[in-house]
Amino acid sequence: MSDLYEYGIHQEDSDIRVHVCPHVRRVYVFPTENACNALSDGNYQPIDGYQDEVNGRTSQGYNVPPSDIPSCIALTLREITWEHLAFDRENSTSTKGAKAVRLVSAMVRRGMIPVPGAATTKPELEISGTDIVATFDNQIVKIQVKCDFKGGAKHLGGFGLFLQTHERNPRGLHDGKQSISVP
């Protein structure tokens, strides 16, 4: 048993989530609020997440079918795009995340990410980690990007979209957050 902190989709400050799923070759886009509402139904079993070279689980969340998230859109990209980015399961978590952000940034610039109510002008982008802040004619849209390597629709070979709700933080980077014990 390890301590997990409540930290994930419910605490993030984003309008839109984009899950880049290399295994199924899809990019899923949905309003963050819709995913939170889907989780509140209580229809999913918690699952543990792991990171390479870290002993024990590092997160907990839920694999939710994309079809269970209202307004979730699956985008298919040309194969050459996936080949160019060369996602590899063996890449570090940060490398996979950086590739996902690079992909989504390019998609936002090209108008390929559906952003409700955003103007069609070319956005200004501010990138910090896996967060993208896009400004369209003074309208700010906060986008959270996740590399969900084996995520995606089950009929394509995916496991659903991993929506994290808790994480283990052995370095104490979330000082002041209340820990819970999850069996």
Give the pLDDT of residue 121. 67
pLDDT above 80 (res 130): no
pLDDT above 70 (res 170): no
Q: What sign does the dihedral 151-153-154-157 (CA atoms) show?
A: negative
Give the pLDDT of residue 62. 97
Q: Taking the complete model, does pTM exceed 0.75, yes or no?
A: yes
- Dihedral angle at the C-alpha atoms of 135, 136, 141, 142, nearest 10 degrees? -30
pLDDT above 80 (res 172): no
Give the pLDDT of residue 175. 43
- Per the structure, the complete domain to which residue 66 belongs is given by 2-182
What is the count of structural domains for the chain? 1
Helix (H, G, I), strand (E, B) or coil at 101: helix
The token pair at 72 is 């979730």
pLDDT above 60 (res 173): no
Give the pLDDT of residue 5. 87
Q: Are strands 16-21 and 139-147 parallel, antiparallel or unpaired?
A: parallel
Give the pLDDT of residue 82. 97
Average pLDDT of the chain, as a whole number: 87
Q: What is the pLDDT of residues 60-112, one digit of tens each?
A: 999 999 999 999 999 999 999 999 999 999 998 889 999 999 999 999 989 89
State residue 106 phi and psi, 5-degree precision: -65, -40
Across the range 35-58, mean pLDDT stands at 88
Whether the Cβ atoms of residue 137 and residue 108 lie closer than 8 Å to each other: no
**What is the rounded CA–CA span in Å between residue 165 and residue 10?**
7
Give the pLDDT of residue 103. 97
Give the pLDDT of residue 48. 93
